[in-house]
Structure 1
Amino acid sequence: MPSYIKELRALVGHRPLILNSASGALFNQHQQVLLQERTDTGDWGFPGGYLAFGEGFKDALVREFQEDAGLVVQPLQLLQLSDQNHYTYPNGDQVQPINGFYLVKYVSGRLLQQATDETTQLAYFDLDQPPTFFNAQHATMFSVLQQHYL
């Protein structure tokens, strides 16, 4: 979590916040999409995260992919801008994330083989076999991919 959000949370506690986030869809050669199993819920989502103060969607996406997956990616196309979802994290923090969801391409790096503070594991999924997503926003993003690429 960017220090900006930690500072906000110290001031407002668990009250609802509107935050900007960026997520990306990376396909492998088998047309499977990369997802991360989250440490906070054990459910799946797209690599990505919240923007730091002064950071743009694409910069945050590149940073988050490297932190969460070990990969350098290049954002190619905005697939969806989502602003209608609300989520309460297991710790009680409430958010309305405004998310830029991008198609990305691999540039360099290797998939992380060990868990991090946000990622338990990484795996590629077929578009006709979605896992359990940690919130409705990620399930909707998966549906966007199904509509475009199935």
Structure 2
Amino acid sequence: MNYVQNIRKYLGHQPIILNGSCGLIFNSEGKLLLQQRNEPQKRWGLVGGLMELGESTKEVMIREIKEESGMTVDVSKLQLLDVYSGRENFAMAPNGDEFYAVITAYIIRDITEVPVINDNESLDFEWYDLNDLPKEIVADHKIVIDDYKKKYMAN
């Protein structure tokens, strides 16, 4: 049983704080890797996930990349983009669980490995041009992508 499942055993659907990491993973052509999630909405999102006890945010990112895509990334490739938290990061899961997310977003550039579906969380992986993204993107991840574009693609 993982950390969140264990907490939910005691707290039910009450709001909790969940910490996680996500990555803007770019290949050598500057295209962004998106993962189509195995969820009812089949939305696209960044690779990432929740922290387990004792992990750093960087360790979360490295583990989630490996678990979800099979790719191995050296921790030295992680560049901090920002940390997202606060009231605007409140969410309710389809099962009624309420949480406030604290998301640490990293930039990872020049990835040469090919992602493969490595778990039951993924339906597909695609490399996208930042100016031609799919419409159905996880809302929190869209904010992270938009922040990246403002900081690194400003004219």
The TM-score bracket by the shorter chain reads: 0.7 to 0.9
Q: Output the amino acid matched with 1:93.
A: D
Post-superposition, which runs of at least 4 consecutive aligned residues in structure 1 deviate over 6 A?
Answer: none
Greater Rg over alpha carbons, structure:
2
Deviation at 1:104, TM superposition (A): 1.6
| Residues paired across the two proteins, number | 147
Alignment partner, residue 7 of structure 2: 8
Alignment partner, residue 92 of structure 1: 96
Alignment partner, residue 83 of structure 2: 81
Q: Percent sequence identity over matched residues? A: 29
- Per-residue Cα deviation, 1:22-69 (whole angstroms, up to 9, x for no partner): 011111122110011111231111101000011100001000000111
Structure 1 unaligned blocks of 5 or more:
none
Alignment partner, residue 46 of structure 1: 46
Query: Under a length normalisation based on structure 2, what TM-score does the superposition of the two structures give?
Result: 0.85
| Structure 2 CA distance for partners of 1:15 and 1:7, relative to 1, 3 Å | same
Residues in 1 aligned to 2:10 and 2:132: alpha-carbon distance in whole angstroms? 41
Deviation at 1:148, TM superposition (A): 3.2
Deviation at 1:107, TM superposition (A): 6.5
Q: Output the amino acid matched with 1:98.
A: V
**SS at 1:73's partner residue?**
coil
Structure 2 unaligned blocks of 5 or more:
none
Deviation at 1:108, TM superposition (A): 7.2
Let me know the Cα RMSD of the aligned residues. 1.9
| Structure 2 CA distance for partners of 1:51 and 1:108, relative to 1, 3 Å | farther
